[in-house]
Amino acid sequence: MKIATFNANSIRARLGIILNWLKSEKPDLLAIQETKVQDLEFPKDAIESLGWHVIFRGQKSYNGVAFVSKVPLKIVQNRIYPNDLEEDARFIETEINGVRIFNTYIPQGFEIDSPKYQKKLQFYKDLKAYFQKNMKPGEPALWMGDMNVAPTEIDLARPKENEDHVCFHIDARNALADIMKDTWVDLFREKEKGPGHYTYWDFRYPPAFSKNIGWRIDHILGTKPMVLRLKKIWIDKKPRALEKPSDHTFLVAEFS
- Average pLDDT on 101-119 reads 97
Residues of the chain with pLDDT > 70, as a percent, come to 100
pLDDT above 90 (res 83): no
Tell me the whole-structure pTM to 2 decimals.
0.97
Phi-psi bin for 98: left (phi > 0), alpha (psi -120 to 50), beta?
A: left
Specify the pLDDT at position 222.
98
Q: Which residues are catalytic?
A: 105, 146
pLDDT at res. 135: 95
pLDDT for residue 164: 97
User: What would the pLDDT profile of 2-19 be if each residue is shown by its tens digit?
Assistant: 999 999 999 999 999 999
* Domain range annotation of the chain: 2-255
Q: Is the pLDDT of residue 139 over 90?
A: yes
Q: pLDDT (tens digit, 9 = 90+) per residue, 174-190?
A: 999 999 999 999 999 99
Q: Which of 24-33, 81-90, 122-131, 229-238 has the lowest mean pLDDT?
A: 81-90
Per-residue pLDDT band for 90 (boundaries 50, 70, 90) equals very high
Mean pLDDT of 76-95: 92
Task: State the architecture of 2-255 in CATH terms.
Answer: 4-Layer Sandwich (3.60)
pLDDT band per the 50, 70, 90 thresholds, residue 105: very high
Q: Residue 137 pLDDT more than 90?
A: no
Q: Please write the tens of the pLDDT for every residue from 35-59.
A: 999 999 999 999 999 999 999 999 9
Confidence of residue 256 (pLDDT cuts 50, 70, 90): very high
User: How many beta carbons lie within 10 A of that of residue 50, not counting itself?
Assistant: 11
